[in-house]
Structure 1
Amino acid sequence: MEMDDAQSAGSSLFVITLCGSRENNWLVDFLWVVDKHQLCLIDIEQFVAGEMCTTTILTELSQDKSSLIVKDILLFGHEKSVEVDFEVMKTKPSDKYPSHSSTSYAITFSKSDKVPVGFFAELTGILAAHKVNLDFVERLSESSDPLACYEFVAKLNDTQQSLNTSESDARESSDSLSSIRSQIIALGKKYSVDTAIQRSDLLHRTKRLVVFDLSWTLISNDALNIVIEAAASLSEPSVANSLRHRLSELQHLHDDGKLLGDDYYLKRARLLKGFSVSSILQKVHHLLSFTEGSFSLCRALSKLGYKTAILSSGPHFLVEHDFAYGNTFETDAMGNFTGEISQPIVNASRKADLLQMLTMQERISLEQVIAVGDGPVSLEMLSLAGMAISVDQPEATDIKVGAHLCGKSLMTVLYLLGIRGRDALEMSRDTF
């Protein structure tokens, strides 16, 4: 019998909500009550908050038997110490939603210790202002986890997929999503909460390649500056002071917008002219400071079957990885730096080209790529990836990304992918 026919024959749609302790396993007994009266389950959802379990069931009740069924359910609630609530639905569930297509988006956010209530309030306010309703809310982290992480799943009207939609309406839909995304990222920065918003579809769960920048991402400094500091530390005091002073001058010119792009990189590279490659290599590894969680994240991604790559504008000799690209510094016959860099220079556009090359090599789409980085040199790479994660750093660029890390640990990336806390920690352990 169709739903409309059942209602016309004297049936009503009932929403039954039950709330009780999760330890009592009362749901099994309740379903036997439902089965006893041969009720049809149209929909059922359950979530747990702390020690309390809440279950909502949508069913059909015939008017002539509704009083007996309600009596049995209330008796069940009394015996099991479960709160029971009823609501009659006057319309079909499908009437609540627009007839045009919609797309589910996962909004994930995390912060060490706990997420401020103000963040929750403003986030839901942003969604309400855009007339977006939440379908699902879940805590991904455990109480013992170092991070508190939550995920909202919401449906956004996707008029771009409708053949009957005008061009202006499609543009308005795209603008709305862009606005929601930018507001959520800005809200995360305000409360220092790591945030991500992405389509909750098959590709969201089937990423295949994670691409990292090196400077300010896997390491907590500029890669080339570390090499120059290694050279200074190997020099006489007068030479070291001169080298650091020249580097500082170049950085000031860069900050003022007078020295940008390849020119800024090449002028810094020339500061290394005449220095021994082997001596710097021995020194530089003692100066490298890896970002918190970088090793654990890469270990977890490997266990989960992801391939990882490093696309860096820094020196290639700092990177030891199967998929690693960086600038090649030329040397002379004595094994000293010449101050020149082999062409092509790995800059913003070259990183984008390398990313596309990797996707073709691995036979995956750009939608299956996660790119982690920030700053002007990462801009094009991030814009191509299916999910772009920007990391706070001194040269952070305001770009349209899907996720933003305000915290210090790269392990947050796993949470932003929707991986539960206990699974993230298990995968990050140095065991198989």
Structure 2
Amino acid sequence: MGRQVGYPALRQVITLLAEHGLSLSSLERLSAATGGNACFELCLQGPLEQPLPLRAQVLELSAALGLDIVYQPESAQRRHPRLAVFDMDSTLIEAEVIDELAKAAGIGERVAAITEQAMRGEIDFRASFKARLALLDGLDVAVLDDIGAQLRLSEGAERLFAELNRMGVKTAILSGGFTYFAKQLQKRLGITYVFANELQVVDGKCTGVAVEPIVDAQRKADLLQQLAREHGIDLRETVAVGDGANDLAMLAIAGLGVAFRAKPLVRQSARQAISVLGLDAVLYLLGRRD
């Protein structure tokens, strides 16, 4: 997948796969002939005896070609998901909201540095969240409306959710961000459920105190399992998309776990990754044609 995918690139991919004993049984273009996306689906056959070395080489080739190369097992569940869950900050929207709040409070650089460390997996998310939130003590709640009005959806988000809703897929935001902003996205995109963190406000000011339970990595994974269980959905029929280290637990248990424009650690740890195209590229991974 990429903005353009030429036949020389396809040949390199097919050659790499052949070196691992995989032969091409069919090749189909999922993207329209014109437009900003290009995607080819290669169906493969053969015993894959060493998946980890292939995965490492796929990531290297993806970077070298400037393309998203994703391999996944074919299954009925892959083509017919029933539940899709998403991180919010830097996944559904092009911002980390807590960083935007910090800028409004005049402490943007201090909070952004902690956010970066947390997303790279260098420090624990719960500890970093509490530390960042404490710095927002006294922030006027009126700032929230201004920030919410300026938030930009990630590329392809509207197209992705329009199709998921058309398919009857239940959707959810599982976010370490804030419910205030997540509910705005819920209304805008037609999302079924929202699970995020509450901002404690007293007398029109943020208190800087975290309200339990905090939506951290384990809580996200637990919520994915809870939603699947409540609706009688097999985890193989689920999709999870996120960009940070605190998304890895839910990406690991979902049928399709996608690292979206993620930090290197997350991209290397997740089974699938999209770095070049927008969120709507998830539809290609479900076998959907333009």
TM-score past 0.5 threshold: yes
Instruction: Give the aligned partner of residue 273 of structure 1.
Output: 137
Q: Contact between 2:200 and 2:208, CA under 8 Å: does it hold in 1?
A: yes
Q: C-alpha deviations, 1:94-134, integer Å up to 9, x for none?
A: xxxxxxxxxxxxxxxx111x214443232112211111111
Q: C-alpha deviations, 1:293-348, integer Å up to 9, x for none?
A: 1112111110122111111101111111331111112222x132111111121111
Structure 1 SS opposite 2:70 = strand
Match of 1:381 among 246, 250, 258: 250
Structure 1 SS opposite 2:279 = coil
Q: Contact between 1:375 and 1:395, CA under 8 Å: does it hold in 2?
A: no
Matches of 1:255 and 1:344 in 2, distance apart?
20
Q: Please tell me whether residue 264 in structure 1 is matched to residue 128 in structure 2.
A: yes
Q: Contact between 1:141 and 1:149, CA under 8 Å: does it hold in 2?
A: yes
Structure 2 SS opposite 1:127 = helix
Q: C-alpha deviations, 1:155-184, integer Å up to 9, x for none?
A: 2327xxxxxxxxxxxxxx3xx123323322
Q: Which has the higher contact order (CA 8 A, sep 6+)?
A: 2
Instruction: Give the aligned partner of residue 38 of structure 1.
Output: none
Structure 2 SS opposite 1:247 = helix
- Aligned CA distance change for structure 1 residues 409 and 315 (closer, same or farther; 3 Å): same
Matches of 2:117 and 2:31 in 1, distance apart?
45
Structure 2 SS opposite 1:397 = helix
Structure 1 SS opposite 2:278 = coil
- Aligned CA distance change for structure 1 residues 259 and 413 (closer, same or farther; 3 Å): closer
Within-5 A mapping of 1:92-241: 110-112=1-3, 114-157=4-47, 173=49, 176-229=50-103, 231-232=104-105, 240=106
Q: C-alpha deviations, 1:52-88, integer Å up to 9, x for none?
A: xxxxxxxxxxxxxxxxxxxxxxxxxxxxxxxxxxxxx
Within-5 A mapping of 1:18-97: none
Structure 1 SS opposite 2:266 = coil
CA apart distance, 1:281: 2.2
Instruction: Give the aligned partner of residue 177 of structure 2.
Output: 314
Instruction: Give the aligned partner of residue 189 of structure 2.
Output: none
Q: Please tell me whether residue 330 in structure 1 is matched to residue 200 in structure 2.
A: yes
Q: Contact between 2:262 and 2:275, CA under 8 Å: does it hold in 1?
A: no
Aligned alpha-carbon RMSD (Å): 2.3
Matches of 1:193 and 1:267 in 2, distance apart?
37
Structure 1 consecutive aligned stretches of length 4 or more whose deviation exceeds 6 Å:
255-258
**Same amino acid, percent of matched pairs:** 30
The gaps in structure 1 that reach 5 residues or longer are: 1-109, 159-172, 233-239, 422-432
The gaps in structure 2 that reach 5 residues or longer are: 187-191
- Aligned CA distance change for structure 1 residues 364 and 117 (closer, same or farther; 3 Å): same
Q: Contact between 1:392 and 1:406, CA under 8 Å: does it hold in 2?
A: yes
CA apart distance, 1:383: 0.4
TM-score normalised to structure 2 length: 0.89
Q: Contact between 2:94 and 2:154, CA under 8 Å: does it hold in 1?
A: yes
Q: Contact between 1:116 and 1:191, CA under 8 Å: does it hold in 2?
A: no
TM-score normalised to structure 1 length: 0.61
Higher strand proportion (structure 1 or 2): 1
- Aligned CA distance change for structure 1 residues 182 and 208 (closer, same or farther; 3 Å): farther
- Aligned CA distance change for structure 1 residues 253 and 402 (closer, same or farther; 3 Å): closer
Q: Contact between 2:119 and 2:245, CA under 8 Å: does it hold in 1?
A: no
Q: Which of these two proteins has the greater Rg computed from alpha carbons?
A: 1
CA apart distance, 1:394: 4.7
Matches of 1:319 and 1:192 in 2, distance apart?
32
Within-5 A mapping of 1:336-347: 336-347=205-216
- Aligned CA distance change for structure 1 residues 246 and 182 (closer, same or farther; 3 Å): closer
Q: Contact between 1:374 and 1:396, CA under 8 Å: does it hold in 2?
A: no
Q: Contact between 1:269 and 1:339, CA under 8 Å: does it hold in 2?
A: yes
